[in-house]
Each structure stands twice: as structure tokens, then as C-alpha cells.
Amino acid sequence: MGVGRCVIAIVVVGWALALTSGCASTSVNQVRLIGSTALDLSGSYPKTVAFERGGFAEAGGAGSAILIGPNAALLFDFRGAPNRFELLLRQGTQSILYRRLEQRPVMTGDGQRVRRPAGVHVAWEGNRLTGSFDVVVGREDLRGFGPAFEHYPKYLRVVGEFSVPRCPEPVGPTTRPAFWEPPSTVTDDPGPPGLDDIDVHWLMDTFAADMPALGETE
């Protein structure tokens, strides 16, 4: 499901997913969020999210990448076992977290099956990682979120393309957050660190400032 092509919009009704067809175009490092608008009476949740900074790191056969914008962050693994894909959205002082669901075929409201989401695909050349993702994520209700997000969909389909540089090795004494260390090929219970236990403003302001800037056409 490439950028500039028709995409399938998911309408969430309780636990069932019904589909409508639509067409949308996004730029590299901009993703489309496809979900229900039935409860979004004010039209407040974003349909696209753009990222301005990011990068990837890899070691020992495992790798992860992060994209960060003014009001969103996307962390995902492209090599190794943990298979994280987490979308964090910020609005004022509030935030909401979505996590990857099992990549199974989606059931529609009338019982029809939709093809399996494509997942994450990458092409790695030198110090640049490019690729695309088509992933279904679910709202992490256990994290808690404020009233700014009470009408956000329980499920979202995240579709887009990315191009990020390798993050330079830190110079001098520094502390890298645990979620940014490339994941181990052996997953320890309860799993690798993610974006659920981190100060959102530090992530999108302080940490993002240390990430390379992303050019729209890179």
C-alpha cells in the first residue's frame, strides 16, 4: 500500500471493523492515520501526522528507528525479535499511546476478510534507512489519557513511507534512553522498553533536538 495510492479506510464499530474506500497522498516521513470518525464529532483527531526529526540504530542483528514531530512520535523495530511499533500522540499536556496488534487479516462488520496489513518493509543502504509501513495499532487504555483523546478511535491503521539517517554515536558521557537501544534478539518478559513510561515533553523536545533533521525529499 504505497504513498499516493488508494488506501482502505477502517471504520471501527465496537470490536468489528468495517471498510470504506478512499484515496490519499502523503509525503515521505508523513503518515496517514485511518480510523473511525463516528465518535469524533468535533473532527479533532489528526488524519495525517508529519515528522521532522528521527534516525535509526542497529547492533548485533537488531535495529530500531524513531520518527518525531511536534505532536507525535513513532518507534518501530525493523530487525530483531521484539517487533515494536508504537505511535504516541500529544495534544497540549495530554498524550495517548497506540501499539501494534498482531498482523492478522482484518474482519469487517459483515464478516468479510480484508487482506493482511503489509507490516514494515525496509531498504537499508549505507547510512540511510528507507521503507514503508502498513500496520494496525490499538489504543493502550492502561496507560490512561485525558479528555482531549476521549473520542480517538480504539484502532488505527498507520500507513506511510519513511527515510531516516543513521543516528551518530554519542560523543562524551551521555545517557541514551532504554527504548532507543537496539532490541535484543531474545525478548525478556515483560518485553523491551517502549514509549509508555517516558516523559512525553522530554521525548518530543529535548530528545528530538538530538536527532537528525529529516528533509521532506530525502
Written as one string, the DSSP assignment of 46-103 is -SEEE--EEEEEEETTEEEEEEE-SSEEEEEEEESS---EEEEEEETTEEEEEEEPP-
User: Picking from 190-194, 199-203, 212-216, which range would have the lowest pLDDT averaged per residue?
Assistant: 190-194
Given a cut of 80, whether residue 34 has pLDDT beyond it is yes
Between CA 129 and CA 172 the distance in angstroms is 26
- Whether residue 196 is contained in a domain is answered as yes
The pLDDT of residue 147 is 84
Q: How many domains does the chain have?
A: 1
C-alpha cell at 173: 558521557
| Average pLDDT for the chain | 74
- Whether residue 141 is contained in a domain is answered as yes
The pLDDT of residue 12 is 30
The model carries a pTM of 0.77
Question: How confident is the model over 108-144, as pLDDT tens digits?
Answer: 444 445 456 788 898 888 889 999 999 888 888 877 7
The pLDDT of residue 62 is 81
Domain holding 147, by residue range, is 28-33+45-103+116-168+178-209
CA dihedral of residues 139, 142, 147, 153 (deg, nearest 10)? 20
